[in-house]
Amino acid sequence: MLTQEQICAYAPPKNLLKNRVILVTGAGDGIGRAVSIACAFHGATIILAGKTISKLEKTYDHIAAQGSPQSIICPIDLHGACEADYLQLNSDIEKQFQRLDGLVNNAGILGERKPLNQYPLLLWQRVLDINLTAQFQLTQALMPTLEASAHGASVIFTSSGVGRTGRAFWGAYSVSKFAIEGLAQTWAAECENTGKLRINIINPGATKTQMRTAAYPAENPGRLKTASDITPAYLYLLGAESAGVNGQRIDAQIPT
C-alpha cells in the first residue's frame, strides 16, 4: 500500500482503468462528477448514477468531449429507490457488461446543522436513508456483478472528518458517516482473503463543493482543494496498484 503522501500525489498511467466498468453515485456534480470524469479519462466506462438527469447529462457531455469511452446515464433517487430498483440495476449491468469493476458510493446529503435536541425526525430519517441505508442496499444488490469482476472489484464508501470524531451541530450527517465507517469496515472484514473484491473508505477532506459551502457559508472557497484535486485517491483505490488494500480509511488530502 502506498503512503498517505504517495496516494495524494498519485499520478496513474493513462490506461489505468482501461476496459473497467465503474458506477459512481452523485455523478452529476461535485466530487462524483470529478471522479467520473477522471476515471473515464483513464479508460473506464462510467455508469453515471444520480437523481438529476440534466446534471448527469453535463457530466456525460464532458466525458464524451474528452474522447473517453461512452458513459451511461442511470437516473436513480437514493431516497425513493427500493430493493427492486437496485436489483433491476444489477440485472441491467449484468446483461450489458457481465460484471462491475468498481463502485463509488459518493452521493449524500448534509441535512441541517443544528442541535440534536432540535433535530427533526423526518429529516433525520431522510439523511440516514440516503447516506447509509440506500448505500447498503445498492452495494448489496450489486454484489453479484462486483464479484464477477476479473480484476477484483473495488468498492469505495465516502466518509468525513465528522465520521470519526463527533462534532457539535453536525447531527444526522455525522451519525451517518460514523455508521458508514462501521458498515465498510464490517463488509471489508467479511471480504478479507476471498480475492473477489476490496472495500475501503475515503475521507475527501475540505473540498470546494456545494455541500461544503452550505456547511461553512463564511469560509473562503479559494483556500480549498477542488474536487478534481482529490481524484488521485479514488484512482488509486480503483486501479490495480491497490490490489490487496482492504478495510482502509484513506484521506484524499494530506491532513493539516
Please give the full DSSP string across 206-222, using - where no structure is assigned.
SEESHHHHHH-TTS-GG
Q: Which of 86, 173, 234, 236 is catalytic?
A: 173
The per-residue pLDDT for 196 is: 84
Grid coordinates representing 39 are: 476515471
The per-residue pLDDT for 229 is: 96
Taking only the tens place, the pLDDT of each residue in 166-188 is 999 999 999 999 999 999 999 99
Domains of the chain plus CATH, in order, are 12-251 (3.40.50.720)
List % helix, strand, coil for the chain (3-state, nearest 5): 50, 15, 35
d(C-alpha 182, C-alpha 177), whole Å: 9
Q: Residue 173 catalytic?
A: yes
d(C-alpha 205, C-alpha 218), whole Å: 17
The per-residue pLDDT for 210 is: 87
Taking only the tens place, the pLDDT of each residue in 98-144 is 999 999 999 999 999 999 999 999 999 999 999 999 999 999 999 99
The per-residue pLDDT for 153 is: 97
Fill in the DSSP letter of residue 196.
Answer: S
At position 106, the amino acid (one-letter code) is N
Grid coordinates representing 214 are: 452550505
* Phi, psi dihedrals of residue 202, rounded to the nearest 5°: -115, 130
d(C-alpha 76, C-alpha 130), whole Å: 12
Averages of pLDDT over runs of 10 residues in the chain (256 residues) are 94 97 98 98 98 98 98 96 97 98 98 96 98 98 97 96 94 98 97 91 93 88 92 98 96 87
DSSP of 27-53: TTSHHHHHHHHHHHHTT-EEEEEES-H
The answer, as to whether pTM is greater than 0.95, is yes
Q: How far apart are the first and last CA of the chain?
A: 21
At position 249, the amino acid (one-letter code) is R
